[in-house]
Homo-oligomer: A and B are copies of this chain.
Amino acid sequence: MVTQKTIGILGASGYTGAELVRLLLRHPRVDLKVLTADRRAGQSMGDVFPQLAPYDLPRLVAIDDIDWAGVGLDLVFCALPHATTQKVLKDLLAKAPATRVVDLSADFRLRDPAAYAKWYGHEHHALELQKEAVYGLVEMYRREIKAARLIANPGCYTTCAQLPLLPLLKAKAIETDGIVVDAKSGVTGAGRSAKEEMLFCEVSDGFHAYGVGGHRHMAELDQEFSKAAGREVVVSFTPHLVPMNRGILSTIYVRGRRGRTAEDLHAIVSERYAREPFVHVLPFGKTPQTRHVRGSNMTLIGVAADRIPGRAILVSTLDNLTKGASGQAVQNMNLVLGFPETMGIDQPPMFP
């Protein structure tokens, strides 16, 4: 008989929490045992997310009420806000050191404590864990992830930019200066907290850039791009808000190096992902739409020639709540717990 692994979700009342539940409810090997939401403790998930009312789920509890050693979870997803995360996980892993953790916050993504302190304005509160953490971009760190206890699940913007660019940087196929990543995100990326600028009437029927010229998540891009290229890489990056629920699309402008054409770049990316279950490269010249990955864990990448000789335009897209957050987190869980990598996250996109 197949045994189930016991799972907890910390911060289950946010969108990434709900998305984890959606995916795990159909995962054949896990048992959702603990769901936390401090401000909604005592309520059912159906009170917080009515779409889950028909399902049999544990009641929400407060984190402080959990006996980590006693409950003995196999794996915990942590979908808590920045900074809180460090404290909670430090405590959890001290009391129940055998627990595996997939953390969806940005707290453990930076390897360099100095970079962390610079971008976040304070010392890291769990330096030992920061050293231990493995960056959870599956397509790049699959081997390390399998052996990890603490996985830092990548950000949605950064996953969408890394998947097309990393193979090109590693192959030294593009110039490392002058790269432009123009990124557009759906509104779930902002989470569920009530803010005036995320009200329907402030977001619908319009479009805008935000955080122009400076965005905290760039540190994660700098780290991985520089590592891949073997030299410092800093890209221009502008996030925008699209009046849609889910999806990120990045339009990326690059120059081929040493005569590399757009076709050459397409060949490199295509070959790199030929056997990846969650990255699909379109035929040369075709570019993807966010709606064609909605609800799925798939990433679509297109490569086209710019009309300026020697330049190429890449377009990549993924669902920020699945491959950009909860889906990739389940993919990490599958690796860590020894399940088939695609288990529970193999459903096709929902379009329309």
A245 and B186 alpha carbons, distance in the complex (Å): 16
User: When the two chains form their complex, are residues A194 and B194 in contact, meaning their CB atoms are under 8 A apart?
Assistant: yes
Interface 9-mer from A88-96, A142-150, A200-208, A333-341 = A200-208
**Which residues in B have their C-beta under 8 angstroms from that of A209?**
249, 251, 287, 313, 315
**A2 is an interface residue with CB less than 8 A from chain B:** no
A275 to chain B, nearest CB (A): 13
User: When the two chains form their complex, are residues A207 and B290 in contact, meaning their CB atoms are under 8 A apart?
Assistant: yes
Q: Which residue of B lies closest to A201 (CB)?
A: B352
Residues 280-321 of A, flagged 1 when their CB comes within 8 A of B and 0 if not, give 101001011111111110101010111110010101010001
**A178 is an interface residue with CB less than 8 A from chain B:** yes
A346 and B54 alpha carbons, distance in the complex (Å): 11
Partner of A352, one of B182, B202, B240, B296: B202
Once A51-B291, A298-B54 are accepted as A-B contacts, the answer to whether A240 and B184 lie under 8 Å apart by CB is yes
A212 to chain B, nearest CB (A): 4
**Which residues in B have their C-beta under 8 angstroms from that of A280?**
53-54
A234 and B308 alpha carbons, distance in the complex (Å): 7
User: When the two chains form their complex, are residues B50 and A292 in contact, meaning their CB atoms are under 8 A apart?
Assistant: yes
User: When the two chains form their complex, are residues B15 and A208 in contact, meaning their CB atoms are under 8 A apart?
Assistant: no
A199 and B210 alpha carbons, distance in the complex (Å): 18
User: When the two chains form their complex, are residues B198 and A195 in contact, meaning their CB atoms are under 8 A apart?
Assistant: no
User: When the two chains form their complex, are residues A201 and B15 in contact, meaning their CB atoms are under 8 A apart?
Assistant: yes
User: When the two chains form their complex, are residues A348 and B55 in contact, meaning their CB atoms are under 8 A apart?
Assistant: yes
**A187 is an interface residue with CB less than 8 A from chain B:** yes
User: When the two chains form their complex, are residues A201 and B192 in contact, meaning their CB atoms are under 8 A apart?
Assistant: yes
**A218 is an interface residue with CB less than 8 A from chain B:** yes
A165 to chain B, nearest CB (A): 15
A210 and B321 alpha carbons, distance in the complex (Å): 24
A93 to chain B, nearest CB (A): 30
User: When the two chains form their complex, are residues B18 and A206 in contact, meaning their CB atoms are under 8 A apart?
Assistant: no
Chain A residues 195 to 230 lying within 8 A of chain B, measured CB to CB, are: 195-196, 198-210, 212-214, 218
**A238 is an interface residue with CB less than 8 A from chain B:** yes
Q: List 15 A-B contacts (CB under 8 A).
A: A51-B349, A51-B351, A180-B182, A184-B207, A187-B201, A200-B204, A205-B246, A206-B290, A208-B315, A209-B249, A212-B302, A213-B313, A245-B352, A246-B352, A350-B350
**Given A204-B205, A205-B205, A205-B244, 12 further pairs, Cβ under 8 A:** A50-B292, A51-B291, A180-B253, A187-B200, A193-B196, A202-B352, A204-B244, A205-B294, A212-B313, A212-B315, A218-B307, A245-B352
Which residues of A are interface residues toward B (Cβ below 8 A)? 15, 18, 21-22, 25-26, 49-55, 178, 180, 182, 184, 186-188, 192-196, 198-210, 212-214, 218, 234, 236, 238, 240, 242-247, 249, 251, 253, 262, 280, 282, 285, 287-296, 298, 300, 302, 304-308, 311, 313, 315, 317, 321, 346-352
